[in-house]
């Protein structure tokens, strides 16, 4: 018999949990001391912000996928206001995780820098995935 937090854990949620750990590892780990030279065209695209946007959007998508396929009869409850649906709380928790990452980067002295644009990119990635997956057809 399962107890505690593992009681409701489904095997389909494991990829989302692992993806979340990967994001935290990549954003909290001490900064590499070697300087890499990126091509000018890549620097102009600001790959760091694109990575934040994509990684956090994928994280929401993976978790939403696990919610939908945990129960084959899962239906988005469009009759409820968006703030009363579980998908909204999932997105809100991921956005709070983005704020936590920026706080931990500030708090630890591992060479990471706190940037509001990172948090904005995280938030926009989650919100875009939320909107794409939860809109009415």
In the block, residue with structure tokens 């997105």: 91
Q: 63-106, pLDDT tens digit by residue?
A: 888 877 766 566 666 666 655 677 888 899 999 999 999 999 88
Q: 24-33, pLDDT tens digit by residue?
A: 888 887 766 4
| Cα within 13 Å of Cα(88), Cβ side | 10
Q: What is the pLDDT of residue 121?
A: 93
Q: Work out the number of other CB atoms within 10 angstroms of the CB of residue 130.
A: 22
Say if residues 64 and 98 touch (Cβ distance below 8 Å).
no
Does the predicted TM-score (pTM) go above 0.85?
no
């Amino acid at each position: 018999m399962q107890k505690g937090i593992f009681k409701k854990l489904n095997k389909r949620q494991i990829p989302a949990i692992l993806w979340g750990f990967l994001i935290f590892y990549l954003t909290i780990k001490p900064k590499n001391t070697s300087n890499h030279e990126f091509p000018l065209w890549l620097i102009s695209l600001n790959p760091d912000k694109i990575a934040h946007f994509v990684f956090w959007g994928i994280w929401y998508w993976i978790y939403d996928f696990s919610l939908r396929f945990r129960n084959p009869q899962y239906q988005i409850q469009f009759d409820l206001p968006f703030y009363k649906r579980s998908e909204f709380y999932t997105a809100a928790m991921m956005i709070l995780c983005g704020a936590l990452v920026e706080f931990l980067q500030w708090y630890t002295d591992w060479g990471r820098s706190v940037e509001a644009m990172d948090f904005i990119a995280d938030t926009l990635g989650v919100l875009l995935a939320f909107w794409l997956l939860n809109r009415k057809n």
